[in-house]
Chain A
Amino acid sequence: MEAPTFLHMIFPQVPAYVSYSWLAMGVIIGVAIAVKGSLKMVPAGIQNVVEILIEFLRGQALMSIGQHWGDKFLPLLGTLFIYILVCNLFGLIPGFESPTSNVNVTFSMAIPVFFIYQFMGFKVHGIRYLEHFLGPIRSIYAIPFMMFMFVVEWITHLARPLTLGVRLFGNMFGKHLLLMVLGILAPLIVPVAFLCLGTLVSVLQAYVFMLLTAVYIAGSVEESH
């Protein structure tokens, strides 16, 4: 199953997903410092790429969360998107492992997202945030229905971090598995098509993770209906 990777050979006692996630952080921080050191009024080179990325992320955040809260959550969403994207794209380089094809890494991002959006809901609405869980009807006669809706809504909310983590893990691991099986069956031309597909899936899953995080946060900071 496990293909040997470079960093795993250098640091054998550190698991590959840990060392490659540190490498991803190093790459991101290095690019950020390099861009920050050479900011220009007229962008050139890598500053163009970073500006396009940030404008795209800000547009997404404002569109999904709204004008009032969008800028506040831009750092969280941008960090998630860029980190997951770099981690996913590591998996396409031979000799590298993508850290997101391990359950520990994906859940270490999905569970904080759950706590963040619940915390923001309580912070914005106070105890009245619990009204989000009570369903559409407000009436003294609908109390059994409201109690039932409370349980159902909590099941929905608890399924969210599970699906976030499993979705990313399953896509990345499935892609690795497909590439490995194809490498055994037809090592020459065929895997190129699936590498293109893997690039698409990598970008798309990073985007979907960010978008769902934004949707969850938007659902918790908006007014209950």
Chain B
Amino acid sequence: MRKLFVVLLAALVVVLTASAVFAAESDPAKLNYYGWATAGALIGLGAAAGGGGAGMGQGLRGILEGSARNPGVTGKLMTLFIVGLALIESLVIYVLVFVLITFYANPFVK
């Protein structure tokens, strides 16, 4: 009984969230919009993550070389490095925000 309840609850959660994401559309224009939006989101987020990863890799190389030459400054460098990572990561997050806008705020679909 308890197991059945848990399964039903999980199914309910999945159904509720799915209906929010894929709001059942029969209009072909909206379906077309979401198709292009999904493709753009995947490609754009991939490119953003790639660029961010390249930038973070440069930063990581710098801090590794610096602390290999002078192990005393590793603590200081680490703090700056983490802050820099947060700033680089925020660029990727901007793309995520735009993706969310195209999905949920729907500027072109009423």
A residues contacting B by CB (< 8 A) are 1, 163, 166-167, 169-171, 173-174, 177, 180, 184, 187, 201, 204-205, 207-208, 211
Residues of B within 8 A of A180 (CB): 17
User: How far is B25's CA from A144's CA once the two chains are assembled, in angstroms?
Assistant: 54
Contact A174 B83 (CB under 8 A): no
How near does chain A come to B24, taking the closest CB pair, in angstroms?
16
Complex alpha-carbon distance, A177 and B97, angstroms: 11
Chain B contact surface mostly:
helix
> Which residues from B are CB-within-8-Å of A163?
90, 94
Interface residues of B, count at CB 8 A = 17
Asked if B14 and A184 make an inter-chain contact with CB atoms under 8 angstroms apart, the answer reads yes
Distance of A177 Cα from B62 Cα, bound (Å): 32
Interface residues of B in 42-59 (CB under 8 A from A): none
Q: Is the CB of B20 within 8 A of A1?
A: yes
User: Interface digits, B1-18 against A, CB 8 Å rule (1 contact, 0 not)?
Assistant: 000000000100110010
A170–B17 CB distance below 8 A: no
- The answer to whether A208 touches B86, judged by C-beta atoms less than 8 angstroms apart, is yes
Q: Complex Cα distance A169/B10, Å?
A: 28
By DSSP majority rule, is chain A's interface helix, strand, loop, or mixed?
helix
CB-CB under 8 A from B17, the residues of chain A are 1, 180, 184
Nearest-CB residue, chain B, relative to A103: B97
Q: B86–A205 contact, CB under 8 A?
A: yes
Q: Is A204 touching B14 in the complex (CB atoms < 8 A)?
A: no
Over the window 99-110 of chain B, the binary record of Cβ atoms lying under 8 Å from chain A Cβ atoms (1 yes, 0 no) is 010001000000
**What is the CA–CA distance of A163 and B87 in the complex, to the nearest angstrom?**
10
Task: Tell me if B86 and A204 are in contact (CB < 8 A).
Answer: yes
Which interface residue of A170, A173, A184, A204 has the most chain B CB atoms within 10 A?
A170
In the complex, which of the residues B10, B13, B90, B94 has the most CB atoms of chain A within 10 Å of its own CB atom? B90
**Cβ A174 vs Cβ B20 within 8 A:** no
Name the CB-closest residue of A to B93: A170
Q: Are B82 and A170 in contact (CB under 8 A)?
A: no
B18: nearest chain-A partner, CB-CB: A184
Contact check, B83 vs A208: say whether CB atoms are below 8 A apart. yes
User: CB of B37 within 8 A of chain A?
Assistant: no
Docked CA distance A112–B9 (Å): 44
Given contacts A1-B17, A1-B20, is CB(A166)–CB(B97) below 8 Å?
yes
B97 touches A169 (CB 8 A): yes
Residues of chain A within 8 A of B94, CB atoms compared: 163, 166-167, 170
How many Å lie between the Cα of A207 and that of B90 in the bound state? Answer: 14
Chain B residues, Cβ within 8 Å of A177: 100
